[in-house]
């Protein structure tokens, strides 16, 4: 829907009058240039020429037209990245197709394209200004790509346009090369400009080289098949070479779209009549008429169907704003899931139905909304949360999947129609009776003694009391040694504000911080869960085993029932013919690449604590849904979370302020004996 204030804006009125004057001028110029040829056309001969077109040419033309529209549908995905909004790829392709077809077929592209997109994206939360901006960005991408592709063709073969405008080919090539150089310079100059520009009260990312290359690729994918779909309907004898014809077609289409007329009618035909004098006029007119019918009518009907059948929002009443923050605080304070601390990372959305006491965290990926872990809150409300979020995802054109689904929710997912495939096993130990002085933990005892002999002092800090500056240096050293980037979504990454919320265990040697581990605690205090483990390359052997053992001791002293050591990915997966295909594939990865990927070492680290193991799985819909969910999980864990891509009113992202900092430990704490592990 177009904003009402747009009609009252004097600038909008002037722009509308300019577009109308341009359309009338181009139509009048077209009629003046080719009026004699149009008047001389014999309608019966045009009809006969259309009837005589061979069936194989019609089939080829239609197939190429469909291929062209497949490229045309990609412009919306490119434009959405400029707006910082994310829409599942199925819906983005549908919006790109429907909006582009409406704009091209009906003319007045900014209006008709925006109306079509507003209908198709109505469940995705895009506002009216965003829809208008999206249409404008699509138009800019189309013309930018067209200009680059057309000038590149003319630099290669300038003869067709030189003949059309009556000048020398060298002059056309020089102008084309100059335009290419100007466009390239503008794209390269992007690095010296601001990253974002305010537009219609939004922040729009300015285009750069990558955007220009993508727009050009889409223009080639769209316009080359479109040109060929017309070429196969024309007699070969009167046509220039392929590059020349494609260049003529692009120029004709550009003039037609600039006129904002339905299908570019008028300037498009006039350009072709002038540029293809060797093609009999009746044959050219017949080919254009048949091409328009094949190119516009079926796709126009499909665009109408897409717009008519575009789903509305699911109707679920969802908490937002302050009400959501209040509900989130209440749930987190009462829940027994330490993993709920992940909500504070800021890379997830929160789904909280008004009439349920539970909520869910999720990320948005390419076609999949991925719920992180089990819903948070009372288990009796979990089915309502899973069903509600699945409905929201369907309305937005996506599928719901669950990542790290636990045994407590597997039956709920299956009852909702999802298949659950094993992902790995999660380790936990009973905190209350944990001790190193048992035979099964002799390896752990040996590693802890090695750290003690190296003089490592261990301290447990409450939330807000950890030495964050020193921890940042350790985290940097760890990242540099790993030559990788931090992961997120299903685990914490180094962020001082996030770390300040949690219990921290630090290890020092000679007063120097060499290792730390952060630990989440559930709202009811019954579960503690290991998060970050970071150490410097010169940390003593057994340092991390000692820190985690100290964390488990602290959990037991604080009254916790269990200490969660997190999941060992791809371990304990079922084998054999009865196992899900994803589990069998994961087993192959475990056996062939688990050592190189560090999976075997992670499993051995956890096994040293002799924990209990419980399965964790992936809930998904069908084989394709499983593949999409796995790819989405990989992208989100690697830092590809889309936090600005959905309606903030319906699908909000929540960041609760961190707790007030607690005074740091006394400066002489590091001088205490290694065996005196202080528990704050």
Q: Is residue 644 part of a domain?
A: no
Query: Do 381 and 483 have their domain in common?
Result: no
Terminal-residue alpha carbon distance, the chain: 58
Query: Do 305 and 325 have their domain in common?
Result: no
Instruction: Dihedral sign for Cα 160, 166, 169, 171, please.
Output: negative
Other CB atoms within a 10 A radius of the CB of residue 241 amount to 11
Query: Do 238 and 142 have their domain in common?
Result: yes
Query: Do 477 and 515 have their domain in common?
Result: yes
Query: Do 287 and 352 have their domain in common?
Result: no
Query: Do 216 and 137 have their domain in common?
Result: yes
Q: Is residue 388 part of a domain?
A: yes
The pLDDT, as a whole number, for residue 206 is 64
Q: Mind giving me the DSSP string for 167-200?
A: S-HHHHHHHHHHHHHHHHHHHHGGGGS-SEEEET
The pLDDT, as a whole number, for residue 3 is 36
Residues of the chain where predicted confidence (pLDDT) is lower than 50: 1-12, 15-16, 26, 30-35, 39, 641-645, 663-680
Query: Do 298 and 330 have their domain in common?
Result: no
Query: Do 191 and 336 have their domain in common?
Result: no
Which 8-state DSSP code applies to residue 17? H
What are 214-250's pLDDT values in tens digits? 999 999 999 999 999 999 999 888 788 888 899 889 9
**Domain boundary, last residue among 309, 337, 370:** 309
Q: Is residue 570 part of a domain?
A: no
H/E stretch holding 209 reads: helix 209-231
Query: Do 176 and 294 have their domain in common?
Result: yes
Domain count, the chain: 3
Query: Do 451 and 364 have their domain in common?
Result: no
Helix extents (H) in 52-88: 55-72, 75-83
Q: Is 412 exposed, middle or buried (0-12, 13-18, 19+ CB in 10 A)?
A: buried
Q: Is residue 14 part of a domain?
A: no
Query: Do 64 and 174 have their domain in common?
Result: yes
| Cα separations in angstroms, 282 against 29, 35, 262, 467, 470 | 21, 14, 22, 83, 81
**Domain boundary, last residue among 309, 343, 371:** 309
Q: Is residue 291 part of a domain?
A: yes
For 497, half-sphere exposure in the C-beta direction (CA atoms, 13 angstrom radius) is: 9
Q: Is residue 605 part of a domain?
A: no
Range of the domain at 493: 432-560
Q: Is residue 380 part of a domain?
A: yes
Alpha carbon distance 212, 375 (integer Å): 42
Q: Is residue 165 part of a domain?
A: yes
The pLDDT, as a whole number, for residue 82 is 80
- Output the domain CATH number for residue 467: 3.40.630.30
Query: Do 348 and 277 have their domain in common?
Result: no
**Domain boundary, last residue among 287, 309, 331:** 309
């Amino acid at each position: 829907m177009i904003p009402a204030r747009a009609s009252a804006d004097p600038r909008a009125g002037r722009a509308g009058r300019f577009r109308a004057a341009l359309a009338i001028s181009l139509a009048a110029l077209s009629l003046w240039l080719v009026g004699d040829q149009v008047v001389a056309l014999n309608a019966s001969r045009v009809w006969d020429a259309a009837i005589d077109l061979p069936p194989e040419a019609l089939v080829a033309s239609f197939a190429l037209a469909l291929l062209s529209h497949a490229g045309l549908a990609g412009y919306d995905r490119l434009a959405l990245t400029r707006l910082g909004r994310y829409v599942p790829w199925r819906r983005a392709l549908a919006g790109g197709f429907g909006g582009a077809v409406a704009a091209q077929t009906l003319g007045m592209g900014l209006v008709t394209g925006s109306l079509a997109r507003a209908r198709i994206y109505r469940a995705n939360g895009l506002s009216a200004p965003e829809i208008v901006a999206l249409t404008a960005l699509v138009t800019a991408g189309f013309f930018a790509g067209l200009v680059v592709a057309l000038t590149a063709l003319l630099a290669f073969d300038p003869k067709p346009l030189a003949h059309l405008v009556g000048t020398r080919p060298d002059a056309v090539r020089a102008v084309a090369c100059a335009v290419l150089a100007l466009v390239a310079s503008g794209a390269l100059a992007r690095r010296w400009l601001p990253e974002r520009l305010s537009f219609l009260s939004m922040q729009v990312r300015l285009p750069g080289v990558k955007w220009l290359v993508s727009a050009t690729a889409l223009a080639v994918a769209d316009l080359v098949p479109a040109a060929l779909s017309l070429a196969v309907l024309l007699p070969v004898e009167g046509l220039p070479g392929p590059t020349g014809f494609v260049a003529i077609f692009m120029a004709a289409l550009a003039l037609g779209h600039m006129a904002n007329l339905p299908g570019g009618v008028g300037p498009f035909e006039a350009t072709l009549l002038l540029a293809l004098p060797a093609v009999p006029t009746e044959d050219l007119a017949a080919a254009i008429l048949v091409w328009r019918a094949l190119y516009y009518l079926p796709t126009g009907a499909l665009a109408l169907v897409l717009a008519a059948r575009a789903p509305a929002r699911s109707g679920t009443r969802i908490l937002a704003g302050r009400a959501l923050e209040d509900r989130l605080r209440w749930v987190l304070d009462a829940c027994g899931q330490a993993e709920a601390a992940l909500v504070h990372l800021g890379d997830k959305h929160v789904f909280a139905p008004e009439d349920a006491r539970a909520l869910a965290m999720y990320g948005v990926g390419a076609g999949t909304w991925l719920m992180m872990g089990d819903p948070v809150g009372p288990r009796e409300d979990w089915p309502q949360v899973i069903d509600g979020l699945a409905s929201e995802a369907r309305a937005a054109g996506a599928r719901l999947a669950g990542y790290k689904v636990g045994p407590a929710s597997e039956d709920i997912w299956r009852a909702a129609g999802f298949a659950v495939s094993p992902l790995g096993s999660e380790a936990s130990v009973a905190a209350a009776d944990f001790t190193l002085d048992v035979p099964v933990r002799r390896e752990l005892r040996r590693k802890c003694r090695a750290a003690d002999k190296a003089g490592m002092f261990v301290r447990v800090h409450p939330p807000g009391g950890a030495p964050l500056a020193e921890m940042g240096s350790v985290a940097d050293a760890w990242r540099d040694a790993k030559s990788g980037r931090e992961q997120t979504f299903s685990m914490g990454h180094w962020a001082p504000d996030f770390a300040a919320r949690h219990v921290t265990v630090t290890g020092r040697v000679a007063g120097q911080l060499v290792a730390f581990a952060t630990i989440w605690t559930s709202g009811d205090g019954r579960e503690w869960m290991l998060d970050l483990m970071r150490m410097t390359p010169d940390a003593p052997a057994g340092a991390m085993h000692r820190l985690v053992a100290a964390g488990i001791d602290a959990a037991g002293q604080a009254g916790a029932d269990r200490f969660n050591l997190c999941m060992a990915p791809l371990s304990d997966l079922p084998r054999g013919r009865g196992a899900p295909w994803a589990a069998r594939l994961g087993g192959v990865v475990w056996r062939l690449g688990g050592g190189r990927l560090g999976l075997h070492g992670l499993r051995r680290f956890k096994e040293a604590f002799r924990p209990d193991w419980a399965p964790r799985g992936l809930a998904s819909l069908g084989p394709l849904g499983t593949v999409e969910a796995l790819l989405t999980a990989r992208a989100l864990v690697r830092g590809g979370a889309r936090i600005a891509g959905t309606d903030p009113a319906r699908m909000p992202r929540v960041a609760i302020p961190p707790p007030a900092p607690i005074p740091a430990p006394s400066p002489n704490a590091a001088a205490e004996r290694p065996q005196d592990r202080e528990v704050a």
